[in-house]
Amino acid sequence: MTRIGKAFENQKAFIAFITCGDPDLETTAACVRAAVAGGADLIELGIPFSDPTAEGPVIQGANLRALTGGVTTDQIFDLVRNLRQDVEVPMVFMTYANVVFSYGAERFLSTCQEIGMDGIILPDLPFEEKEEFLPLCHTYGLDLISLVAPTSENRIAMIAREAEGFLYIVSSLGVTGTRSEIKTDLASIVEVVRQNTDIPCAIGFGISTPEQAAKMAGIADGAIVGSAIVKLIEKYGKEAPAYVGEYVKSMKESIT
C-alpha cells in the first residue's frame, strides 16, 4: 500500500493545504510540522503560481505574497528535503501545469521522487489531457491525483475508474474559499465514485468549521481544508504555527 493509501486506512483522513513561502519558507515548515502534530494525515503543499485559476482571494493572496517574497521551486524542493527529515505523513504538491512545464516535466517529477513526495494535483489539467504527465508520474512513483466537480456529471465514473492516490471531490462550483454552507449533493457524487473505484475520496473547497468537516467526512473518506488555514497564516504570520496546530487538532477531532 502506498503512503497515501495508509493515510486513509481504518480512519477518516484530514488533509491540510499550506501555500509554500507565505510569509516565508521557515514559517511554512513550522506550519507543516504543527499541522502534522495536530493530526493532519496528509499535507498538500501549494507551489505558488502567478495565475492560480482554481483559487479564491485568500489563496491568491498567499500566492502573491510568496512570489513577491521571491520563493522559487528549487527552494520549495529544499523545504521538502528538510521536512522529510522528520515528517512521515504523505505529502503532495498542488500547483499548475505551467509550473511543471516551465521547470521541465521530467526534471520536476524526478526531483519529486528524490525528495520524497507522494503525488501531485494539477487543477488546471483536464482529465483528457493527463497523458502529458501520467507516464512520467508513474516512472517516478508519483500519484497523479484527479479532481471531480459537480459539473463533471457523466464523467465522474470515467475519472473514478482511473483515479490513483485519492480522488479530490470539489464540493461546489467556483474557486477555493470558506463557505457558510455547502449545498451540493455530494452523496450522489460519492456514490458514483464508490461504484467505480476502491480509491479513497476526500472533499475539499469551502470547508472551514469542525461541523462542516464532520459532515464531509461522513459522506467521503476525508476532508480537505486550505483557505481557513491560509487565513490563519495571513493573520498571524510568523506566529501562525501554534494557531495552525490547534486548528488542525480541532478539525481532526471532529472527523475521528
Query: pLDDT tens, 137-187?
Result: 999 999 999 999 888 878 999 999 999 999 999 986 644 444 344 446 889
In a domain, 7, yes or no: no
Strands 119-121 and 143-145 turn out to be: parallel
In a domain, 38, yes or no: yes
Cβ neighbours around 255 below 10 Å, total: 20
Residue 255, pLDDT > 90, answer yes
Considering its fold, how many domains does the chain have in total? Answer: 1
In a domain, 93, yes or no: yes
In a domain, 81, yes or no: yes
Q: How far apart are CA 246 and CA 210, in angstroms?
A: 12
In a domain, 216, yes or no: yes
Q: How far apart are CA 27 and CA 249, in angstroms?
A: 18
For residue 113, the domain's CATH number is 3.20.20.70
For the chain, percent of residues with pLDDT exceeding 90? 83
Enclosing domain of residue 127 = 13-145+206-251
Query: pLDDT tens, 21-78?
Result: 999 999 999 999 999 999 999 999 999 988 766 667 889 999 999 999 999 999 999 9
In a domain, 241, yes or no: yes
Query: pTM for the complete prediction?
Result: 0.94
In a domain, 6, yes or no: no
In a domain, 55, yes or no: yes
